[in-house]
């Protein structure tokens, strides 16, 4: 058995995305930094914070469909961790991050860097 190996570390590795999703903590204040969401657990936690958490409800207090779809996809991936479900959760998270304005993209970063110069 490898040193440092536990059932928890094995569970986390089986919930990892193929590629991380980068989101701003607060898109309006990029200097606050970004989160690197590399697995299902980190994504589930991020749904309740920052711009992703603020994007949960519409002005009429109804839950946004994108947010609900993401929660559902990530929960399915957590409790039935197949690669298809994990990547479906990642895809839903990316779509939510894009819709909320929290998604960090290379083009977005370059634009912000040029504006601050």
Domain extent for 34: 19-116
Whether 87 maps to a domain, the answer reads: yes
Q: State pLDDT tens for residues 56-93.
A: 999 999 999 999 999 999 999 999 999 999 999 999 99
Q: State pLDDT tens for residues 102-114.
A: 999 876 555 555 5
Whether 24 maps to a domain, the answer reads: yes
Instruction: With both helix axes pointing from N to C terminus, report the angle between 65-79 and 83-100 in degrees, rounded to the nearest 10.
Output: 160
Whether 110 maps to a domain, the answer reads: yes
End-to-end distance of the chain based on CA atoms, in angstroms?
52
When pLDDT is averaged across residues 35-46 and rounded to a whole number, the result is 94
* Domains in the chain, number: 1
When pLDDT is averaged across residues 44-57 and rounded to a whole number, the result is 91
Whether 14 maps to a domain, the answer reads: no
pTM metric for this prediction? 0.79
Whether 8 maps to a domain, the answer reads: no
Nearest-angstrom CA–CA distance, 87 and 19: 9
Q: What is the mean pLDDT of the chain?
A: 83
Whether 106 maps to a domain, the answer reads: yes
């Amino acid at each position: 058995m490898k040193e440092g190996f536990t059932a928890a570390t094995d569970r986390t590795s089986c919930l990892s995305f193929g590629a991380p999703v980068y989101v701003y903590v607060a898109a309006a204040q990029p200097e606050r930094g970004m989160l690197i969401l590399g697995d299902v657990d980190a994504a589930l936690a991020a749904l309740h914070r920052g711009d992703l958490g603020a994007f949960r409800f519409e002005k009429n207090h109804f839950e946004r469909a994108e947010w609900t779809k993401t929660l559902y996809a990530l929960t399915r991936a957590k409790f039935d961790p197949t690669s298809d479900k994990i990547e479906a959760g990642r895809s839903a998270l990316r779509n939510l991050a894009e819709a909320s304005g929290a998604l960090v993209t290379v083009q977005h970063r370059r634009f912000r860097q040029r504006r601050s110069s």
